[in-house]
Amino acid sequence: MFVDEVKIFVQAGKGGNGAVAFRREKFVPNGGPAGGDGGKGGSVIFEVDPGLNTLMDFRHQKHYRAQDGEPGGTNNMYGRDGEDIIVRVPPGTIVRSEQGELIADLTQPGQRAVIARGGRGGKGNSHFASSRHRAPRVAERGQAGEALWVTLELNLLADVGLVGFPNAGKSTLISVISAAKPKIADYPFTTLVPNLGVVSQYGEPFVVADVPGLIEGAHQGQGLGDTFLRHLNRTRVLLHLVDMDPQNGHDPVNDFRIIRHELEAFSPDLAARPRLIVATKMDVLGSQENLQRLQDYVAPLKVWPISSLTREGVDALMWEVRKILDETPKPVFQKPEPVIKPVVRGFSLEPCEEGVRVVGDVEERAGMTLWGNRDAEEYFLEYLRRRGLENLLRRQQIPDGSAVMVGEGTFYWREGELVLE
């Protein structure tokens, strides 16, 4: 089954907690702090695997989680870092955030991108020793790893794209010029998924993509819609195939006009690519009259008549494609804009049912506080006082006895002072 768009959840590992530990040495107060730092959490990394050509595996597994870092140990022993998780994706995979921002465009074999970064490990109590606190019992909790939903889109890597109505001869042509074996039958929409073929007998090899046929209103979801046209976004040349068979009930001029409109509606950039107009099925009786009508309509543009059945005109067409490819630069793949996260400076109070909640730059520090450790909570309380939280509470006239919440912690405002219960 061919799958070219999925939504998955990725979560990096949490950093390990720092340790509270002391050495057992003579003349060293309380043995001296010797708690080690926690290990870094593992990251979620996407890697291009050239052996894949679909996102099918992601239909069955939608959650990917890297390993957490291990906590620090005694004697300043660092915790082990969590292992990264490597997620393999096919070439041409585009990774976007829920907001549609480009995170990565993965095209080259072996190319990697870090999609979710692991959290840093918490500091052990040896980092908190000072002249005033010779034997601190304070350590940090490990930082949470990044977690987000991402959308994966597969844009096949092809040099040449085939477009046209259903049964215009796209699948037959790609089967003749390459080793691809698409389904070929005399009814509409025999091609339900994109097919790729490597053409190697016309100079340097190039890749041709055959996408399911379009009909009028495809950009509005008619037929199979324009879902698969994204696979032509990276192509350098388009072959617009028009059926010349007079018995198919179609007007070739009208067919040409409709497909051109659908391309322009889908992507003006794609419609502006170098394009060859190809008249197919020239072995059918009466096809010459349709060819002349199409040629008159598109003049002065050239129409390339071919018959995939007899191979008449196919070689000349492919050599022309080879010439255009040599003259057309390869596409520049998308580079994600650097994500500049806004720097939050300062903090403010927001009312809540129990009292007020402190929001702002102190929340990150709160997230790494080892809640449940009285010394760590008091250490964080001193930090809040130094930052001027008590002054802010006085200025905003917060009622006595109100709860003051920061992250997972809760303090209380009593008689003009911030306290722990």
Asked whether residue 137 is domain-assigned, the answer is: yes
Residue bearing tokens 């696979």: 231
- pLDDT of 123: 94
Host H or E run for residue 379: helix 374-386
Would the pLDDT of 79 be above 90? yes
Instruction: State residue 390's pLDDT score.
Output: 93
Summarised one tens digit per residue, pLDDT across range 160-175 is 989 888 888 888 898 8
Please report, for the domain that includes residue 39, its CATH number: 2.70.210.12
Single out the residue in 296, 327, 358 at which a domain terminates: 327
Q: Is residue 406 classed as helix, strand or coil in its secondary structure?
A: strand
Return the pLDDT at 339: 58
Say how far apart CA 346 and CA 359 lie, in whole Å. Answer: 9
Average pLDDT over every residue of 94-99: 91
29 and 99 housed in the same domain: yes
Residue 135 maps to a domain: yes
Domain-embedded: residue 132? yes
pLDDT at 184 over 60: no
Mean pLDDT of 299-322: 94
For residue 218, is pLDDT > 60? Answer: no
Q: Is residue 213 part of a domain?
A: yes
Shared-domain flag, residues 244 and 281? yes
Same domain, 209 and 235: yes
- Residues 378-412 as b or e (16 or more Cβ within 10 Å = b): ebbbeebeebebbebbeeeebeeebbbbbbebbbb
Residue 57 vs residues 88, 104, 110, 142: alpha-carbon distances, Å: 10, 19, 19, 32
191 pLDDT above the threshold of 50? no
Q: Do 355 and 284 lie in a common domain? A: no
The HSE-up count of residue 358 (CA atoms within 13 Å, CB side) is 33
Give the angle 270-273-277 at the CA atoms, nearest 5°: 105
Residues 146 and 166 in one domain: no
To the nearest 10 degrees (0 to 180), the angle between helices 170-177 and 314-327 is 80
Structure tokens that stand for 14 in this block: 């949490």
Select the highest-mean-pLDDT range: 5-14, 154-163, 256-265.
5-14
Report residue 281's pLDDT band, with 50, 70 and 90 as the boundaries.
very high
pLDDT at residue 258 is higher than 50: yes
Percent of the chain past pLDDT 70, that is, above it, reads 88
Regarding whether 231 and 127 lie in a shared domain, the answer is no
In this structure, the answer to whether residues 366 and 385 fall within a common structural domain is yes
What's the CATH number where 382 sits? 3.30.300.350
In this model, does residue 25 exceed pLDDT 80?
no
pLDDT given at position 337: 65
Best CA proximity match to 376, nearest among 30, 71, 137: 137
Residue 34: partners with Cβ closer than 8 Å, 6 or more residues away: 21, 22, 23, 74, 75, 76, 124, 125, 126
pLDDT at 143 over 80: yes
pLDDT band at 396 (very low <50, low <70, confident <90, very high): very high
* Selection from 195, 200, 177, 198 nearest residue 314 by Cα: 177
Residue 59 pLDDT = 86
Residue numbers belonging to the annotated binding site for Mg(2+): 171, 191
Residue 52 pLDDT level (bands cut at 50, 70, 90):
confident
Percent with pLDDT over 90 in the chain: 53
* Tens digits of residue pLDDT in 268-279: 888 888 999 999
Whether the per-residue pLDDT at 307 is higher than 90: the answer is yes
In a domain, 342, yes or no: no
Q: How confident is the model at residue 406 (pLDDT cuts 50, 70, 90)?
A: very high
259 band by pLDDT with thresholds 50, 70 and 90: confident
- 137 with 33, same domain: the answer is yes
**225 — pLDDT class (breaks 50, 70, 90):** very low
In a shared domain, residues 186 and 44: no
The answer to whether residue 339 is domain-embedded is no
Domain ranges, residue 98: 5-154
Same domain, 18 and 65: yes
Whether 196 contacts 155, CB under 8 Å: no
User: Which residue ranges are tagged as binding site for GTP?
Assistant: 164-171, 189-193, 210-213, 280-283, 307-309
As for how many domains the chain has, the answer is 3
- Asked if the model's pLDDT at residue 247 lies above 90, the reply is no
Q: Per the structure block, which two tokens stand in for 4?
A: 């070219």
Mark which of 154, 188, 218 sits at the end of a domain.
154
Distance CA 35, CA 19 (A): 4
What is residue 13's predicted lDDT score, i.e. its pLDDT?
A: 97
Sequence letter at residue 339: V
Output the average pLDDT for the chain. Answer: 86
Same domain, 67 and 149: yes
Does 341 reside within a domain? Answer: no
Of 138-147, 193-202, 243-252, the least confident:
193-202
pLDDT confidence bin for 357, thresholds 50/70/90: very high
Model confidence band, residue 14 (pLDDT cutoffs 50, 70, 90): very high
Same domain, 351 and 394: yes
Residue 340: inside a domain, yes or no? no
Can you name the residues that pair with 419 across neighbouring β-strands? 412
Which residues make up each annotated binding site?
Answer: 164-171, 189-193, 210-213, 280-283, 307-309
For residue 354, the model assigns a pLDDT of 85
Residue ending a domain, choose from 274, 297, 327: 327
